[in-house]
Structure 1
Amino acid sequence: MPLAAFPKCYLDDLMSGEMAIDKWLDVADRIDLDGVEFYWGITPDLDELDRIRSELEARDLSAPMMCYSPDFTRPVSEDRQAEINEEKRAIRATARLGGSYCRVLSGQRRPQVDRDMGLDWVAECIEELLPFAADHSVTLILENHYKDDYWDFPEFAQDMEVFLDLLDRIPEHPNFGVNFDPSNAIIADDDPIELLDAIKDRVVTMHASDRYLEGGTIEDLRAMEDEGSQGYADILKHGVTGEGMIDYDAVFERLAEVDFDGWISIEDGYDASVGEKHLDQSAQFLREKMATYNVG
């Protein structure tokens, strides 16, 4: 099973340009990783991607996954079409980097968008994208997501019941699967193992994240979400994988049951000052689990 990492702790610096992508690749090269997951907000123009791919190859790394955040619950149809077009750009970039997986989401949980209407919109958008993804040898991965760092509202299909309903509306396709994130299920007040049991046959990639709450409760988090503000609430923390609320033994048991051999991408904390140290700890923890359960 190949292991990648997402640069969450460096994301603000990468977005602002304070940290160059090459510096992030240097960090990844010093950790026991096989690849790095890209975030669309830091992905350069197409003419720069060949250079980035060469830099990756020089470090014996790949860029298997693109973390993209389409917003398919925008009420105006022309706006949803614009989101589809932007996702196509992300698919092209994924392929240009040599990657195989590009994330799709449902969109923001806007108060004025009801469940059935939103699910119809999202399913239509994803189905429209599937032939384009297939043409570029890219698999679209639907994540049980919480909230993009730069969104005002949480994920429309955050709740397990809604997520499963959306998944049922999209027929099985060789270029479509699930990116499972166990800690996002915790934040949705769902049981991540129950969710994994329901979707494990369609999981093709996983975000290895761990969460904890500091200075508040799930109820406090819900109240903050309802107010609608950009980014994550201060009480919600990403931690080192294996040190939070997730039972990773139970997760890997389920992955072993379905002979999972896809990419796992580390997604841990926000503190850049200990970013490399924590990523290394997360990588060591996951390599141990991969060996213990003979997955990959």
Structure 2
Amino acid sequence: MRISVFPKGDLAALSDARTMTVFEWITKASTLPADGLELYSGMFWRTDDDHLDAIGEALDAEGFEMPMLCTSPDFTHPDASVRESEFDRQLEMMRITRRLGGAGASTRVLSGQKHPGVSREQGVAWVVDAYERLLPVARELDITLGMENHYKDGSWQHVEFAQKGDVFREIVDAIEDRVHFGVQFDPSNAITAGMDSADFLDEVIDRVVTMQASDRFLAPGTTLDDLRLADGTIGYSPALQHGVIGKGMNDYPRIFRALADVGYDGWVSIEDGVNGMDEMHESVLFLREAREVYFGGSTAVRVATQEAARAAAGLESLARPDIEDDALARGREIAR
């Protein structure tokens, strides 16, 4: 299992205000004992090859990989021209994923917003159609589309169309490809949708290809019942807070045991830092300890279910050995 980090606390500066560059974030993250950095589409203020290669060189200089690129396409927008624009942007991000992450890297995808007036049937049809049209490109690039159980992108007006577990599973189950499509599991987002995160994992575990790790805490005097909305979901609230992984509401021992039992030894990306880099560092140390306890200290990359699907399709394995052996094979230096 390899550990990457996602700059939840600096995302607005990197993507919205643009007061921090991706190069500054890479330098800032270099103090963390992590193996990779998950990047976000909004960080790419330019997408020309020279700029992308400069980002790749900066990552390599700090000993980081780029295993996942986080994107937020809105495939449920009622305007067909907007949906097509979102599709084209997604194709661009997939090509960036391959350029920076190489074969096997993952592009996180979403369904879209829960726009008023868009029925469940129509929304599901639009999302499945978009994914099916993206998959030939994913196969050509040999990257993976990872659909995340999500709450809401920071730039969105409405919550995730597939926030509820049954809608999410309907879309995932409609995609037969298990080589280049799967689930990016986020346990905290299951909680915000009103589900037990470990129970939800049990329902999708055979499709998990990547994972984001974060944790949630209830403010003093607040209960889950206080946060439940009329439709049975839980919306983001100041009472539901980010914090150090392993100290909140997720049952990480159960989650990691379940993943290890099905042969998941892939990437886990930390979504933290809202309260500063000290907490991000503590979260990395928590995952490093979990790696020892639940994954035998492995720093390999191997997702057994996806590897089985590749073998059945006659494709080469993407499994990689422990970091030291992998670095020797690739002629890379390890900065940490």
TM-score by length of 1: 0.92
Distance in 2 between residues matched to 1:8 and 1:161, nearest whole Å: 27
Contact 1:40–1:66, Cα closer than 8 Å, also in 2: yes
**How many pairs does the alignment contain?**
289
**In 1, Cα distance between the equivalents of 2:82 and 2:19?**
32
Which of 1 and 2 has greater Rg? 2
Confirm whether residue 259 of structure 1 aligns to residue 263 of structure 2: yes
Equivalence for 2:54: 51
Are 1:135 and 2:136 counterparts? no
The answer on 1:195 being equivalent to 2:200 is yes
Partner residue in 1 for 2:5: 5
Contact 2:68/2:101 (<8 A) preserved: no
Q: Tell me, which stretches of 5 or more residues in structure 1 are unaligned?
A: none
Asked whether 1:167 is paired with 2:168, we answer no
Give the superposition deviation at 1:79: 2.1
Counterpart CA distance in 2 for 1:126 and 1:91 is: 12
CA contact (8 A) 1:237 1:269 kept: no
Deviation at 1:218, TM superposition (A): 4.6
Q: CA RMSD in A?
A: 2.0
Structure 1, 160-169 or 179-188: larger mean CA deviation: 160-169
Residue 214 to residue 204, structure 1, CA distance change in 2 (3 Å): same
Report the CA distance shift for 1:222/1:70 in structure 2 as closer, same or farther (over 3 A). Answer: farther
Give SS of 1:284's match.
Answer: helix
Please give the per-residue CA displacement for 1:47-89, whole angstroms capped at 9, x wherever unaligned.
3110010011111111111110001111122322221111001
CA distance in structure 1 between the partners assigned to 2:229 and 2:196 by the alignment: 21
What is the distance in 1 between the residues matched to 2:87 and 2:170? 21
Q: 1:74 aligns with which of 73, 77, 86?
A: 77
- Mapped to 2, the partners of 1:269 and 1:235 lie a distance apart of 18
Cα distance in 1 for partners of 2:228, 2:42 equals 27
Q: Which moved more, 1:103-112 or 1:92-101?
A: 92-101
CA distance in 2, matches of 1:148, 1:62: 24
Cα 1:276/1:177, change in 2 over 3 Å: same
Partner Cα separation in structure 1 for residue 96 and residue 223 of structure 2: 39
**Kept in 1: contact 2:192–2:236 (CA 8 A):** no
Identity %: 45
Deviations 1:2-34 (A, max 9, x none): 100000111122222322322211222111111
* Mapped contact 1:70–1:87 kept (Cα < 8 A): yes
Rounded Cα–Cα distance in structure 1 between residues aligned with 2:84 and 2:177:
23
The correspondence for 1:106, drawn from 85, 91, 111, is: 111
Separation in structure 2 between the aligned mates of residue 223 and residue 193 of structure 1, nearest angstrom: 22
